Amino acid sequence: MPRKTMIEAIRDAMDVMMGRDDNVVVFGEDVGFFGGVFRCTQGLQAKYGKTRCFDAPINESGIVGAAVGMAAYGLRPCVEIQFADYMYPAYDQIVSEAARLRYRSNGQFTCPIVVRMPTGGGISGGQTHSQSPEALFTHVAGLKTVVPSTPGDAKGLLIAAIEDPDPVIFLEPKRLYNGPFDGHHDRPIIPWSKHDLGEVADGHYVVPLGKAVVRRPGTALTVLAYGTMVYVAMAAATETAIDAEVIDLRTLLPLDLETIEASVRKTGRCVIVHEATRTSGFGAELSALVQETCFYHLETPIVRVTGWDTPYPHAQEWDYFPGPARVGRALLEAMEP
């Protein structure tokens, strides 16, 4: 099975779907001729033409608004917001139009759009290129929210998202774009060598939305993570020698509560890790769900490890989001009687 970066896997997914379905169109800022700021769409315009892959003005609201209109008339737009930090002008279109179109039309119209966004920090992008706004989407009924952690999953999940009849927010961790980083250090360096990249099957395949996966089996405690933090959690479990079960959520909505519940009932302990700020982060929802469904199985309080409640600090980037040392301390705390 070939090995690819997450960038290559995402490009492959769009290529596969554009080849299979003429209604799939790809557009966004610098997406066409240039191939996107991270080159995720490189070569698609040359292969499919300027009516299938094209550049949009620097107008995020216009990009998503146009996609909603296209979707209502039968197309399947897969649009790119250059950074997740830039999505705020488009938030009204996502929430008020895309998420509600099926419901406000009583099913006469659907909105099969995918909004791709590079998310998270770790590339010295500062406050306006490093945010993790997933909780702003998981709060909205009518949206699905996806965060892959491997190239193989990124391709399969993106194909599933493009084929889905409803709007999907597809958040791509920038720190994982070019291969799993070395999660055993608090200041990891992204390796570029091919042997560090994930296997990605050729052709069309689907990773179903709403299905988590156990990345590291264990019996002592459960760690819930997604995106980049999956690797941090596995590194912390290895370094602390705790028999932790690390669950990669992959899809935040719909959420695979069945896998979470089965794991926590088995281990009796739960640690939740995410890069976004703590207050009202998605970890709060996870904590509430675990408390509601697994209360009588919990041996210790649920522990959250998150980013700080502060605007993204450029100079203290590697302290802001959880590293293996901080997650390791949380694992040890959760193991205390």
Catalytic annotation, residues = 129
Single-letter residue type at 38: F
CA distance 300 to 293: 15
* Residue 6 and residue 180 in contact, taking contact as beta carbons nearer than 8 Å: no
d(CA 115, CA 155): 15
Contact 32, 48 (CB under 8 A): no
Look at residues 234, 253, 200 and name the one whose alpha carbon lies nearest to residue 322.
234
Question: Within 10 Å of residue 47's Cβ, how many Cβ atoms?
Answer: 11
* C-alpha–C-alpha distance, residues 9 and 2, integer Å: 10
Residue-by-residue DSSP string for 219-272 = SSEEEEE-TTHHHHHHHHHHHHT--EEEEE--EEES--HHHHHHHHHHHS-EEE
Strand pairing class (251-253; 144-146): antiparallel
Nearest to 312 by CA among 129, 173, 82: 129
Pair of tokens at residue 241: 């020698």
Residues 291 and 264: their CA atoms lie apart, in Å, by 10
Rounded Cα–Cα distance for residues 65 and 194 (Å):
39
SS3 217: coil
Is residue 155 a contact partner of residue 78, using CB atoms and an 8 Å limit? no
